[in-house]
């Protein structure tokens, strides 16, 4: 997420979603921001999965560019009902 580290775990906990995530990577964990693929590549590295085997969900054009640059399958949540 492009969000800041201290907020994200609390937000996921409040939404009862934290247990679904093995790790959380924020913009604070990487040097280059979206549209660079760094944040998605770091997430794949942390969970030990090759980027080509990952699917990422995004709600911004820059994020979609970053996912594709990482070689991952990109899902644009703006197109979901």
Does the pTM surpass 0.85? The reply is: yes
Q: What is the pLDDT of residues 23-74, one digit of tens each?
A: 999 999 999 999 999 999 999 999 999 999 999 999 999 999 999 999 999 9
In a domain, 20, yes or no: yes
Provide the CATH number for the domain around residue 24.
3.40.50.1000
In a domain, 3, yes or no: no
In a domain, 60, yes or no: yes
Rounded Cα gap, residues 32 and 38, in angstroms: 6
In the chain, the number of structural domains is 1
């Amino acid at each position: 997420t492009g969000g800041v580290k201290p907020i994200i775990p609390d937000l996921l906990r409040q939404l009862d979603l934290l247990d679904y995530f093995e790790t959380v990577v924020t913009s604070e964990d990487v040097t280059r921001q979206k549209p660079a693929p760094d944040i998605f590549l770091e997430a794949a590295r942390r969970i030990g999965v090759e980027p080509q085997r990952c699917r990422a969900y995004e709600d911004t054009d820059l994020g979609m560019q970053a996912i594709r640059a990482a070689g991952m399958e990109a899902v644009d949540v703006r197109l979901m009902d």
